[in-house]
Amino acid sequence: MYGLVQKFKIERNPEPYPPHEGEYFVLLPKKDRHAFAAMLTYANSIEPENPILAKGIREWLKVY
C-alpha cells in the first residue's frame, strides 16, 4: 500500500480551456470505492454552481 505519491503526469488540453496552475489529484473509481464516494460527494457539492458538471460526473460513475 502506498501513501500520497506522484504517480501520474497530467497535461492540459489546449484551448478553449483556461490554464490552471496548481496540484492535481487522480482518482480511480473503478477500483477504489473511496474514490467513487469522493467523486459522488464532489458532484453533490458542485451541483449548485455547475449542474452540467455534476450531471456529467454522475453519468460517468454509472459505468461503474
In the chain, domain spans = 24-64
Per-residue pLDDT reduced to its tens digit, 2-46: 888 888 888 877 777 777 778 888 999 999 999 999 999 999 999
Cα distance between residue 63 and residue 21, in whole Å:
30
pLDDT the model gives residue 62: 92
